[in-house]
């Protein structure tokens, strides 16, 4: 990988979407010069990153092929892109590779936080917690209208069975849910998880669906009207609990306008999203629907996850500056 010489063991690092304070201090204590600033797309396209040896982003900064082209002029030092988190859909990894830039993420550091957020959204959905709070603030006392259902005794369908989905499976199972999953890429799974070869079967079987796959051409709008229409609406325990979907994975996998329609026609009782096709969300018809509640992409935003992410990213950066090639990278 390019950019590093023995004299650049101390580097200039841009942190564009924030990182844990202790991690920044550890980098500064190791002698690195850290600039913590969010750059606009215009500044990125003007080549501001060429001034740095390394950049660390979360999801707000998009490192496109154009940004890399303008940051890779003669004399550019940029040799490391760190994704403080899991998803690298905001980084053109192939373009980085072509430019000799190493890309690293911190895949396991936020698992527990995202698992807890997913379960939290399911319970908030089934018990109308967000809706109850909204109605209290409007001065209403909707004790009768806000009757919920238990998640125990229902089938949970996981789309994708990676680290986070497996954590959700454990938690859901301990709360009394039967767990199902669809993941054409996994080789093995615990025998108490019912695997499906066809994603449609997962929708037919489950009243609760949780999204845990990456966004790709294959998964864009995978959760759509046709599939929502297949969900049974009645739990294994015979309760007419309606259908519920949660996504803390990536925007664009749930077709938001199909889901809004399903909330309106009753095929879906609730939808809880932490991630959206367009972020920040701005105006959305979802915001006017009682069965919807959301959060602004904060599933990994806990003190614990951000500390672990910071610690892991600091080690990767220090390793990069010492050896030129961190032990775990995506390219
Ligand atoms: C991730 O991919 O790590 C999450 O979406 C968290 C984030 O970007 O904040």
User: Residue 5 pLDDT > 60, yes or no?
Assistant: no
pLDDT band at 6 (very low <50, low <70, confident <90, very high): very low
Tell me, using a 6 A CB cutoff, whether residue 313 lines ligand 1: no
Neighbours of 212 (CB within 10 A): 27
- Give Cα separations from 37 to 55, 89, 305 (angstroms): 11, 21, 21
Q: How many CA atoms lie within 13 A of 305 on its CB side?
A: 21
pLDDT score, position 3: 53
In the chain, the percentage of residues whose pLDDT exceeds 70 is 97
Q: Which of 56, 63, 86 to mutate to test the pocket of ligand 1 (most atoms within 8 A of CB)?
A: 86
CA of 136 to the centre of ligand 1 (A): 32
Q: What is the number of the ligand 1 atom nearest to the C-alpha of 87?
A: 2
Question: What integer is the mean pLDDT of 84-89?
Answer: 95
Fold that domain 111-294 belongs to in CATH = Rossmann fold (3.40.50)
State the Cα torsion 50-55-60-62 to the nearest 10°: 50
Residue 182 reports pLDDT greater than 50: yes
Closest residue CA from atom 8 of ligand 1? 59
Does residue 85's CB lie within 6 angstroms of at least one atom of ligand 1?
Answer: yes
Q: Work out the pLDDT band at 77, boundaries 50, 70, 90.
A: confident
Given ligand 1 and candidates 20, 83, 87, 88, which is best to mutate, with the most ligand atoms within 8 Å of its CB? 87
Residue 72 is predicted with a pLDDT of: 78
Q: Dihedral of the CA atoms 49, 54, 58, 63 (nearest 10)?
A: 40
pLDDT digits 0-9 by tens, 92-136: 999 999 999 999 999 999 999 999 999 999 999 999 999 999 999
Does any ligand 1 atom lie closer than 6 A to the CB of residue 86? yes
pLDDT of residue 4: 54
What CATH number is given for 12-107+303-323 in this structure? 3.40.50.720
- Which of 3-12, 28-37, 74-83 is modeled with the greatest confidence? 28-37
| DSSP conformation class of 38 | P
- Ligand 1, atom 5: nearest CA belongs to which residue? 87
Contacts 24+ apart (CB under 8 A), 116-119: 116/171, 116/302, 117/248, 117/274, 117/295, 117/298, 117/299, 118/164, 118/168, 118/210, 118/246, 118/248, 118/299, 119/168, 119/171, 119/172, 119/175
pLDDT band at residue 301, thresholds of 50, 70 and 90? Answer: very high
Distances (CA, A) of 103 to 86, 217, 306: 12, 22, 19
Is any ligand 1 atom within 6 A of the Cβ of residue 300?
Answer: yes
CA dihedral over 45, 51, 107, 185, signed as positive or negative: positive
Flag whether pLDDT at 296 surpasses 90: yes
Mark whether 297 is an active-site residue.
yes
Query: How do residues 135-180 score in pLDDT, each as one tens digit?
Result: 999 999 999 999 999 999 999 999 999 999 999 999 999 999 999 9
Atom of ligand 1 nearest to the CA of 309: 3
Whether 197 contacts 203, CB under 8 Å: no
DSSP, collapsed to helix, strand or coil, labels residue 185 as coil
Distance 143 CA to ligand 1 centre (A): 36
Instruction: State the pTM of this model.
Output: 0.93
Q: Inform me whether the pLDDT recorded for 330 exceeds 90.
A: yes
The answer to whether 12 touches 32, Cβ cutoff 8 Å, is: yes
Q: Give pLDDT, residue 247.
A: 99
| Mutation pick for ligand 1 pocket among 17, 19, 59, 117 (CB with most ligand atoms within 8 Å) | 59
Is residue 234 helix, strand or coil?
A: coil
CATH 3.40.50.720 location in the chain = 12-107+303-323, 111-294
């Amino acid at each position: 990988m390019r950019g590093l010489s023995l004299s650049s063991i101390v580097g200039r690092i841009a942190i564009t979407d924030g990182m844990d304070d202790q991690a920044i201090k550890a980098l500064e204590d190791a002698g690195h010069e850290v600039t913590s600033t969010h750059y606009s797309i215009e500044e990125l396209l003007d080549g501001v990153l060429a001034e740095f040896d390394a950049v660390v982003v979360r999801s707000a900064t998009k490192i496109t092929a154009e940004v890399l082209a303008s940051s890779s002029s003669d004399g550019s030092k940029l040799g490391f892109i760190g994704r403080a988190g899991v998803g690298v859909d905001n980084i053109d990894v192939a373009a980085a590779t072509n430019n000799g830039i190493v890309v690293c993420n911190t895949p396991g550091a936020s698992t527990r936080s995202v698992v807890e957020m997913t379960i939290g959204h399911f319970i908030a959905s089934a018990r109308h917690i967000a809706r109850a709070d909204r109605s209290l603030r409007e001065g209403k006392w909707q004790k009768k209208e806000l009757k919920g259902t238990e998640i125990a005794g229902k089938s949970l369908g996981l789309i994708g069975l990676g680290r986070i989905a497996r954590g959700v499976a454990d938690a859901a199972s301990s709360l009394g849910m039967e767990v199902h999953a669809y993941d054409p890429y996994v080789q093995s799974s615990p025998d108490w998880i019912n695997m499906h070869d066809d994603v449609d079967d997962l929708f037919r079987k489950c009243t609760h669906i949780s999204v845990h796959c990456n966004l790709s051409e294959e998964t864009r709008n995978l959760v759509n009207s046709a599939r929502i229409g297949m969900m049974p609406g009645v739990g294994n325990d015979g309760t007419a609990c309606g259908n519920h979907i949660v996504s803390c994975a990536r925007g664009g996998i749930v077709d938001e306008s199909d889901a809004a329609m399903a909330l309106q026609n009753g095929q879906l009782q609730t939808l809880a999203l932490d991630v959206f096709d367009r972020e920040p969300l701005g105006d959305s018809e979802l915001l006017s629907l009682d069965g919807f509640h959301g959060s602004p992409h904060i599933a990994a935003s806990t003190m614990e996850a951000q500390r672990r992410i910071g610690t892991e990213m600091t080690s990767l950066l220090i390793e990069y500056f010492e050896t030129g090639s961190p032990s775990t990278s995506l390219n």
